[in-house]
C-alpha cells in the first residue's frame, strides 16, 4: 500500500526538465503579458476581451511547456517516437487562427472584429514564447502589440479614420 501511494505521488509530481517554480513563473509571466492586450480590448468593449486573451495565452504557454517536457522526457526517448516541438507551434497557430477567424464578422458591407481576432492571434505566440522560455520575445511582442493597439488607435482617431 505504501509503495502504491509513493508511485501515485511520483506520477503526480514527476521529475521535469524545467523546475516547478520556473513552470509557475512561465505561466504567470504569460498571463501578465497577455493581460496587457486583453485589457486594451476590454476597454474598447470588444467581444474577445481580458478572459479570452488570458485563456489563449495560458493555453499556448501550457502547450509550450508540454512540448519542452515531452522532448526531454525519457519515456519518449525511443526510436518509435519522433518529437518535434515545432509541431506544437504549428498546432497552436492553426487552432488560434480558427478561433480568431470566428471573431471576424462581415455585415452590411463592413468587416468587424479583425483587430480583435489579430489580438487573440498575438496572445498565442506571446504565451507560447514564455512557455518555451523565450521571455524577451514575449515582452517585446507585448510592448509592440500594445503600441499598435493603443497608440495607433489614438492616431487613427486624430486623423479622423475612426
Q: Where are the domains of the chain?
A: 2-158
Cell of 113: 472584429
Residue in the structure block whose three cell numbers are 519518449: 76
Question: Which string of DSSP letters, residue by residue, matches 10-24?
Answer: HHHS---SS-HHHHH
Q: Which residues of the chain have pLDDT under 70?
A: 75-83, 106, 162
Question: Which string of DSSP letters, residue by residue, matches 73-137?
Answer: -GGG-STT----HHHHHHHHHHHHHHHHHHH-EEETTEEESHHHHHHHHHHHHHHHHHHTT-HHH
Number of Cβ within 10 Å of residue 123's Cβ equals: 33
- Which helix (H) or strand (E) covers residue 107, if one does? strand 105-107
Give the CA-trace dihedral at 80, 84, 89, 94, to 10 degrees. Answer: -40
pLDDT value for 150: 85
Half-sphere exposure of 106 (CA within 13 A, CB side): 2
pLDDT value for 96: 92
Cell of 23: 513552470
pLDDT value for 56: 96
Amino acid at each position: 500500500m505504501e509503495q502504491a501511494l509513493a508511485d501515485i505521488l511520483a506520477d503526480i509530481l514527476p521529475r521535469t526538465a524545467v523546475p516547478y517554480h520556473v513552470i509557475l513563473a512561465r505561466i504567470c509571466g504569460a498571463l501578465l503579458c497577455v493581460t496587457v492586450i486583453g485589457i486594451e480590448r476590454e476597454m474598447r468593449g470588444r467581444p474577445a476581451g481580458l478572459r479570452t486573451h488570458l485563456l489563449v495565452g495560458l493555453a499556448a504557454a501550457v502547450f509550450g511547456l508540454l512540448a519542452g517536457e515531452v522532448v526531454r522526457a525519457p519515456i519518449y526517448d525511443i526510436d518509435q517516437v519522433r518529437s518535434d516541438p515545432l509541431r506544437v507551434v504549428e498546432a497552436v497557430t492553426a487552432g488560434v487562427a480558427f478561433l480568431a477567424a470566428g471573431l471576424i464578422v462581415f455585415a452590411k458591407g463592413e468587416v468587424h472584429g479583425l483587430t480583435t481576432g489579430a489580438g487573440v492571434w498575438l496572445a498565442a505566440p506571446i504565451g507560447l514564447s514564455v512557455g518555451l522560455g523565450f521571455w524577451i520575445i514575449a515582452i517585446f511582442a507585448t510592448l509592440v502589440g500594445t503600441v499598435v493597439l493603443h497608440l495607433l488607435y489614438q492616431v487613427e482617431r486624430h486623423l479622423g479614420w475612426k
